[in-house]
């Protein structure tokens, strides 16, 4: 959610940058998930941060379904071991989400599939490639913004 903070969104807008979320879920499942994400994560984030939620908070974000995992394979994303996918860090993260009152949805897809974060500039050059050691590891907002500058 940090990338949807108004200050970060303003920086993305100045650079005419967009966020692209690629999911391995089928299109219908992704469409069903978006209102859930909006209500329980986006709206709740803005309330908790005591921020006014922009009317189009996800306007710079596109969601794409890739159930055949073509983009995952193209970027070298494989699968985690069961321990990496369900280790203590991940369990602790889920417990924290539950403690914060955020409901969890039962996953339908391959929960061992690795996630990644990538920044691609206008020339098509990859300026950030981050594949975490587990599901919780992501680059910082500062790292993403720095990669946009490259």
**Stated pTM of the model:** 0.75
Contact 44, 4 (CB under 8 A): no
What's the pLDDT tens digit per position in 111-131?
788 888 999 988 889 999 999
Q: Is the pLDDT of residue 106 over 80?
A: no
What is the structure's pLDDT at 1? 64
% of the chain beyond a pLDDT of 90:
22
Give pLDDT tens digits for 27-53: 999 999 899 888 888 888 888 888 888
- Of 75-84, 88-97, 116-125, which range is least confident? 88-97
Mean pLDDT over 103-113 rounds to 75
Burial class from Cβ neighbours inside 10 Å (0-12, 13-18, 19+) for residue 55 reads exposed
Taking the alpha carbons at both ends of the chain, their separation in whole angstroms is 23
DSSP secondary-structure letter at 128? E
User: Is the pLDDT confidence value at 135 over 90?
Assistant: no
- C-alpha distances in Å from residue 63, one per residue of 17, 20, 25, 37, 84: 15, 6, 11, 12, 25
What is the distance between the alpha carbons of residues 88 and 86, in angstroms, rounded to a whole number? 7
Average pLDDT over residues 89-98: 81
């Amino acid at each position: 959610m940090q990338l949807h903070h108004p200050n970060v969104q303003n920086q993305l807008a100045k650079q005419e940058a967009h966020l692209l979320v690629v999911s391995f879920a089928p299109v219908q499942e992704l469409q069903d998930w978006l209102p859930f994400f909006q209500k329980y994560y986006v709206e709740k984030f803005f309330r908790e941060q005591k921020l006014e939620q922009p009317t189009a908070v996800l306007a710079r974000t596109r969601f794409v379904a890739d159930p055949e995992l073509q983009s995952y394979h193209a970027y070298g994303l494989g699968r985690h071991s069961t321990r990496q996918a369900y280790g203590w860090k991940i369990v602790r993260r889920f417990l924290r989400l539950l403690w914060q009152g955020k409901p969890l949805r039962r996953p339908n897809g391959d929960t061992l599939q690795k996630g990644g974060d990538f920044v691609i500039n206008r020339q098509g050059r990859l300026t950030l490639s981050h594949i975490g050691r587990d599901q919780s590891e992501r680059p910082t907002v500062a790292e993403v913004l720095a990669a946009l500058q490259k």
